[in-house]
Structure 1
C-alpha cells in the first residue's frame, strides 16, 4: 500500500477508536512510537472547543496538563502562528521553563520529534506532534526524511477528525451560512455602529438591518448581537475588509 492510499484510509474511519488505531499504525510505520493531535475550534472567544487524539504516555499527558505546559511550550506557540513544521531542536527550548518541558518530556520517552500545523477554513487550528524515544543523528535524519509525509498525514488526519468529531460532536463546526448582507451588518455592528448608522451606511432601512442581525444571531446559535459578533469573528465569518 502506497503512502497516499495509507493516508486516505484515515478518511474511511467511522469512529475515534478506529482513527486512533489507524493513526498509531501509520505513525509507527514512519518510525514514531508516539503521536498527539490536538485541535482548537474558536466557537467562543473565552471557551473554545478542544479535541485531543493521542498515544503519548498517559503520565506525561496528565503532568503536562496539570503544569499548564501548553502556555509556554514553544512547539504549541509555533504551530499556533504558522504552518511551517518545527523539529524539536535544542535551540527552540531556550528559557528555563521551556528547558524544563523538554527535559521532562525526554524522561517520558518523547526524546526526538517534530510538530506540524493545519489552519482550517472555519477558524480552527490543529497540530500534530510525532515523537520517538531515539536520540541520535540518525533519528534526526529520519525525521527530516519524513517531513513531507508527516505534513500530509497532518492534513488527512485533520480532515478525518472534522468528519468524525467536529461535525457530529456536542459543538459542531458546521459553518453558518450567513448571507452577504448579514455579514455586512455584523461587520459594521462590530465597528460599534448602531442600527440607524448601519442603515445609512449600507443604504437599507433600520428595520431591515435588525432583520439581518436577528437572522445572523439565530444562525450562529447565540442570544444577542454582542455574542454574534464574537462568534462570527472567532470563526472567521467576518474579517477586516477595505470599504470603498
Structure 2
C-alpha cells in the first residue's frame, strides 16, 4: 500500500514526485543516496533497502544480481543469481532457482527502465513461475516495480519492490523512472562491495586471481612470472587450474568469466 505522502506527491505531478524520491536529507529522513553510501555491512544495506521500499509505500524489496551467463559446468548454476539480498523472511537465503521462478528476471536481463508488474498476470508464464506468483499472492503481494541495472562488466541486476497497489506501481514507474533507475544503479554498485557472491560461484586462489589479472592485461606467462617472481610454467599451472574451476576452454574465456563476475577487478 502506498503511503499517503507519496500519493500526494504523485498527484501533484511528476516534478514533485521526482523531487520526493531524491529530496535532500532532513533531520528525520536522510536522502537515499547518502544512506546507500554510508552502508558498511550487508545488514546495513538490507536495512537501507527496506527503508527505501517503505519510503515508497511497498512492503519490502529484493536485490538480485543476475550476472553473466556461465557455461554448463558441474557445480555452476544458471538459475541462481550470483548475489541476492532480500528484506522478506519468506525468501530462502540461497535463492535457488530464483531466476527461473521470478518472471521479472527474464525481462530485467535486457531492460533499461523500471517496469511495473502484477502477480495476477498469468499469461506467458511457465508452471514454475505460476506457482511462484501464486505464493506471492498468498503473502499479500499483488504488484510491484522492478528496477533493472545493466552492468556491462559484471552482468545485469535488478531491485524488485513488492506491495499490493497495482495502479500506484504503474504510476510510480511511469512518473519517476529516471530517479528509480538512478537509485538502483547506486545500490547495485554498493551491493557489489558488500553482498558476498553465492556459494556456487567458483573460488579462485589468490595466485590464480593474480595470474588471471595479468593475463587480462595482455601479459604472457613469462612476463606474468617475472612480475610475480615465479616461473612461467608455474603461471601456466595456476591459469590451468583457474580455467578448470571456471569451466573455461581457453585462457581468454577464463579472464572474461572471472571479470564478469567481479572476481578480478582493475
Describe the SS at the equivalent of 2:159. Answer: strand
Are the aligned partners of 2:243 and 2:254 in contact in 1 as well (CA < 8 Å)?
no
Describe the SS at the equivalent of 1:113. Answer: strand
Question: 1:155 aligned to 2:185?
Answer: yes
Deviation at 1:81, TM superposition (A): 3.1
Q: Distance in 2 between matches of 1:43 and 1:141?
A: 33
Q: Distance in 1 between matches of 2:61 and 2:256?
A: 31
Where does 1:79-158 land on structure 2 (aligned, <5 Å)?
79-89=108-118, 93-95=123-125, 97=127, 98-135=129-166, 137-158=167-188
Q: Distance in 2 between matches of 1:230 and 1:123?
A: 14
Question: 1:29 aligned to 2:61?
Answer: no
Question: 1:54 aligned to 2:86?
Answer: yes
CA offsets per residue over residues 149-188 of structure 1, 9 Å max, x none? 2212211111111222359x99599993522355xxxxxx
Instruction: Tell me the TM-score normalized by structure 2.
Output: 0.60
Partner of 1:228: 251
Describe the SS at the equivalent of 1:231. Answer: helix
Q: Between Structure 1 and Structure 2, which shows a larger proportion of helix residues?
A: 1
Q: Which runs of 5+ in 1 are unaligned?
A: 183-210, 238-244
Deviation at 1:36, TM superposition (A): 0.2
Describe the SS at the equivalent of 1:53. Answer: strand
Are the aligned partners of 1:113 and 1:143 in contact in 2 as well (CA < 8 Å)?
no
Deviation at 1:33, TM superposition (A): 1.6
Describe the SS at the equivalent of 2:47. Answer: helix
Q: Residue 106 and residue 155 in structure 1: after superposition, are their counterparts in 2 closer, same or farther (change >3 A)?
A: same
Instruction: Tell me the TM-score normalized by structure 1.
Output: 0.64
Number of positions where the alignment pairs a residue of Structure 1 with one of Structure 2: 205
Are the aligned partners of 1:87 and 1:114 in contact in 2 as well (CA < 8 Å)?
yes
Partner of 2:103: 74
Q: Distance in 2 between matches of 1:92 and 1:233?
A: 37
Deviation at 1:84, TM superposition (A): 3.6
Q: Which runs of 5+ in 2 are unaligned?
A: 1-22, 221-231, 261-266
Deviation at 1:16, TM superposition (A): 0.6
Q: Distance in 2 between matches of 1:116 and 1:221?
A: 37
Partner of 2:226: none
Q: Over the residues paired in the alignment, what is the CA RMSD in angstroms? A: 4.2
Q: Residue 129 and residue 220 in structure 1: after superposition, are their counterparts in 2 closer, same or farther (change >3 A)?
A: farther
Describe the SS at the equivalent of 2:135. Answer: helix
